[in-house]
């Protein structure tokens, strides 16, 4: 029942690829490429169950200890988006969510911000009753939130609001469009593009037929990574460690997908040109990266946990287990 709702709460950017470029253009362009810096952090936030409600937890890296950070008995956290620098986070909590007929619902939703200095939580906006939402951090460091809701006056109208906040919680823009379900259909979300090209503009990852490849954009070498019928779900490049981290997820083609696990997470060494470590199974493998760690979800619902991999040696640093389940954005539900 809730899978339909979570399919959009957990939705990731669609695979985006660009064409090959000439060497001359590459070297000119690389002067302007912004290298992503992964921040060292002493703590990070995640979602876990507390007294039967999804709440915000914080994890102390030095002590390897998790504790409840924010809990409200009348609200459940449905989406947590931590900034790339780990210094601020926005989250959405709602009184209830589920399905009504053919449509998902999110009732009495509210948007909150976690202050990085005071560690206080501030409510930014009452979002009201929603159908679906999609949130992400842009490369510019702004929080993007797209929400769909029914028009209160015309029941065939759906209003899509696109809100943009800076990291301090200031609303930069609020744009809305109305769609008539009978004429233009249900409004879709413009999803964040995958970072398929490395930040130093040297490599690009892409899918071709039933395989994933990496192309060296300087030498034009085509490098095979793995065979899979999955689509790319999330991509990160760690240039200073020469690592490519990506997750894949089932394409939805049952005939093709039945030969492999529904999802995978891969750490690929771009210098050695080989897979350094991989995980596969019935998980979404949502992940984030700090300067020291790869942190990712594993499992679903009550069996969900968070694993932390030390990027120096690729060994397990810790595993976070919360009674009732936990995840980086919310409690992972099985979409497969």
Residue 283 pLDDT exceeds 80? yes
Q: Is 239 helix (H, G, I), strand (E, B) or coil?
A: helix
246: CB partners within 8 A, 6+ apart: 205, 212, 232, 233, 234, 235, 236, 265, 266, 268
How is 181-212 classified by DSSP, letter by letter?
Answer: TTTT-SPPP-PPPP--B-TTSSEEEEEETTEE
Domain residue limits, the chain: 3-327
Long-range contacts of 237-241 (CB under 8 A, 24+ apart): 237/36, 237/195, 237/198, 237/199, 237/203, 238/38, 238/289, 238/311, 239/35, 239/36, 239/198, 239/199, 239/200, 241/311
Distance CA 218, CA 26 (A): 7
Q: What is the pLDDT of residues 189-215, one digit of tens each?
A: 988 999 999 988 999 999 999 999 999
Q: Is 32 helix (H, G, I), strand (E, B) or coil?
A: helix
* Number of Cβ atoms within 10 Å of the Cβ of 24: 8
Q: What is the pLDDT of residue 256?
A: 59
Q: What is the sign, positive or negative, of the torsion defined by CA atoms of 88, 14, 289, 298?
A: positive
Question: What global pTM score does this model have?
Answer: 0.86
Q: What is the pLDDT of residues 104-156, one digit of tens each?
A: 999 999 999 999 888 999 999 999 999 999 999 998 999 999 999 999 999 99
Q: What is the pLDDT of residues 255-270, one digit of tens each?
A: 655 678 899 999 999 9
What is the average pLDDT score of the chain? 88
**The domain 3-327 is classified under which CATH number: 3.30.460, 3.30.160, 2.120.10, 3.30.360?**
2.120.10
Enter the tokens of residue 101: 């007929």
Q: What is the sign, positive or negative, of the torsion defined by CA atoms of 143, 146, 149, 152?
A: positive
Distance CA 145, CA 141 (A): 13
Q: What is the pLDDT of residue 255?
A: 61
Place of tokens 């939130």: 145
* Number of Cβ atoms within 10 Å of the Cβ of 115: 14
Residue 293 pLDDT exceeds 90? yes
What average pLDDT does range 37-61 have in this prediction?
A: 92
């Amino acid at each position: 029942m809730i899978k339909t709702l979570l399919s959009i709460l957990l939705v990731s950017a669609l695979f985006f690829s660009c064409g090959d470029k000439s060497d001359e253009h590459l070297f000119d362009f690389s002067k302007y490429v912004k290298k992503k810096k992964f921040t060292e952090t002493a703590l990070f936030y995640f979602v876990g169950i507390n007294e039967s409600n999804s709440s915000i937890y914080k994890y102390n890296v030095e002590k390897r200890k998790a504790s409840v950070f924010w809990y409200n008995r009348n609200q459940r956290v449905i989406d947590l988006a931590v900034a790339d620098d780990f210094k601020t986070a926005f989250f959405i909590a709602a009184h209830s969510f589920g399905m009504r007929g053919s449509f998902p619902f999110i009732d009495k939703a509210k948007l909150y911000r976690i202050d990085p200095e005071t560690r206080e939580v501030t409510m930014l906006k009452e979002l009201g009753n929603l159908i679906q939402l999609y949130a992400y951090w842009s490369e510019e460091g702004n929080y993007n939130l797209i929400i769909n809701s029914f028009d209160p006056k015309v029941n065939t109208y759906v209003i899509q609001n696109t809100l943009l906040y800076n990291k301090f919680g200031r609303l930069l823009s609020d744009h809305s469009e109305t769609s008539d379900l009978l004429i233009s259909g249900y409004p879709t979300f413009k999803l964040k593009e995958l970072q398929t090209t490395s930040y130093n503009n040297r490599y690009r990852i892409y899918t071709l037929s039933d395989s994933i490849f990496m192309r060296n954009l300087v030498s034009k070498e085509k490098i095979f990574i793995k065979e899979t019928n999955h689509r790319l779900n999330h991509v990160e490049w760690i240039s200073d460690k020469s690592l490519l981290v990506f997750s894949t997820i089932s394409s939805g083609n049952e005939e093709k997908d039945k030969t492999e696990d529904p999802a995978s997470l891969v750490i690929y060494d771009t210098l050695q040109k080989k897979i350094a470590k991989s995980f596969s199974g019935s998980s979404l493998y949502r992940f984030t990266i700090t300067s020291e760690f790869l942190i990712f979800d594993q499992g679903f619902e009550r069996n969900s946990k968070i694993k932390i991999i030390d990027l120096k040696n690729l060994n397990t640093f810790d595993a976070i287990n919360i009674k009732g389940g936990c995840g980086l954005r919310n409690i992972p539900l099985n979409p497969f």
